[in-house]
Amino acid sequence: MNNRSRIGSLLAWWPVQAMAWFFFLVGVVWAGFVGLIIYKGGTWAHIVFASRPIRDSVVSIAAFMIWHALRHAGRYTARDWGRMTARAVMLALSLGVSLLAAEIGLRVWLARTQTRNSIESLRRLRAKGEPIPVYTTHPLAIIVQPSDNLRLIYDLLPSLDIDFGHTRVRTNKLGMRQDLDYPLAHPARGVRIVGIGDSGMFGWNVEQGEEYLSVLRSNLTARTNGVLYEVFNLGVPGYNTQLEVESLRSKGLAFQPDVVVVGWCENDYSLPIFVLQKQDFRRRDLSFLYCMLFDRSTFDDIAQIKMRNLREFERDKVIESVVSGTEREGVRRAFLELKALGEKHGFHILVFGPMGEVVRGLCREIGLPYFNTVEKIPEKKYPEEYAIHFMHPRPGGHRVLAEHMERELDARGWLSPRETAAAPPAR
């Protein structure tokens, strides 16, 4: 009996055949695990083995190969084995090329959809009346929405009237934290003050009407000089100076302001609290095809429109136009744009808040009037709980800030209507 006959007889022995079908069953089961992972789009929580698709695929293929060898090896010649090996190699190469092409094609598609960037997609969602996702657990997410304006990124939801933490937050039709909707037309004998700032000006953790611009409005309205005072609060939590100036440009200028107050905070050098994520589709540490097949949550996170809390980001994952508005140079550019807008539209500018030496130096360099609350308002004069110089003053602190702002604007002659307004005094 030749070797092939002996091998064939051995493989025909029923224990060997039973083992062959055992391996076939293993191959089917592990292939099923891979199918479950693809169907689930991630780990199948109820089956411990359905968690590593590459390993499971290798186990399944190896089991089928052993099954095939045990079932048919006795009938194959050396030439047959050579042909099968060549076919297996060609199949592996073809599969590898196909997977590579699929990976490249998927990256190209993702890059194109993301290059149109979330903004066009956001507009389409809004036009359809569909909800716009904000991926964060930060409480601010419930009162903001992604903006159609890429430079603005996000803004307050309009027409709000909700409990926000322990306070009530209301916004007007344009998304300003105030109860009034002013007409666009400038009143004949009126002074319009527009505030641009972040959570301090917005009035974080204080009741509606307690933030210092509302207090300023009430104080000015109580005057009996026949002047109509209108105060606009464009403060949005998490903004930096770049976004504040953009908010003025895109929203505030329509109201023809006489005075623009910048609510300064030392974190205005930073990224805004929410940013649009920029994906790197050339990265080598991740297979997008693998994620699409076996880790759908990660893939969805990559492929969907995203606006996230900046604390989840590295700077290289943020679009360049947003990064350029950070640090000293970003604030400097924003201040220069603000000054140019003031000169073009004829409004006064006051940078107001607890200011460090760097921002004071920028104001002096550019020629922007400023009011450094740390220097001008003695902290020991008022109760400690007012937190006057903290980024989020308490209601008492807001009242003090409003009083000092009114005095400063009055001393500069900026509370008179345009036709009688005094020229801004030199510093």
Does this model's pTM top 0.75? no
- Grade residue 411 by pLDDT with cuts at 50, 70 and 90: very high
**How many angstroms separate the CA atoms of 308 and 136, rounded?**
6
**Two tokens at 304?**
């969907």
Exposed, middle or buried by CB within 10 Å (0-12, 13-18, 19+), for 52? middle
Reference 376, options 364, 388, 367; nearest CA is 388
Listed residue (161, 179, 188, 185) closest to 218, CA to CA: 179
pLDDT more than 70, % of the chain: 78
- pLDDT tens digit string along 267-291? 899 888 776 556 667 778 888 888 8
Q: Is the pLDDT of residue 30 over 60?
A: yes
Q: Quote the pLDDT of residue 427.
A: 40
Distance, in Å, from the CA atom of 96 to the CA atom of 84, rounded to the nearest integer, reads: 18
Residues in the chain: 427
Dist CA 157 CA 202 (whole Å): 13
What 338-344 contacts at long range (C-beta under 8 Å, 24+ apart), as own/partner pairs, is 338/245, 338/248, 338/260, 338/262, 338/368, 339/366, 339/367, 339/368, 341/245, 341/248, 341/249, 341/253, 342/260
Give me the sign of the Cα torsion angle 393, 396, 397, 401. positive
Residues 6+ apart with CB under 8 A from 37: 43, 44, 50, 51, 53, 56, 293, 294
CA dist 293 and 35 (Å) reads: 10
Distance CA 4, CA 10 (A): 10
For residue 32, the model assigns a pLDDT of 79
Beta bridge partners of 274: 309
The two three-digit tokens of residue 193, written as one number: 């003050």
* 147/335 Cα distance (integer angstroms): 22
What is the mean predicted confidence (pLDDT) over 367-381? 94
pLDDT digits 0-9 by tens, 117-170: 455 555 666 677 665 555 555 678 788 887 878 778 889 999 999 998 889 999
User: Is the pLDDT confidence value at 393 over 50?
Assistant: yes
* Separation of alpha carbons 382 and 403, rounded Å: 13
Amino acid at 231: V
Contact 393, 269 (CB under 8 A): no
H helix count then E strand count, the chain: 15, 11
Taking only the tens place, the pLDDT of each residue in 302-337 is 665 555 555 555 666 666 777 778 899 999 999 999
Residue range 5-16: mean pLDDT, rounded: 55
pLDDT above 70 for 116: no
Mean residue pLDDT across the chain: 83
Q: Is the pLDDT of residue 384 over 60?
A: yes
Query: Which residue, 332, 370, 160, is CA-closest to 240?
Result: 332
Q: What is the mean pLDDT of residues 220-238?
A: 95
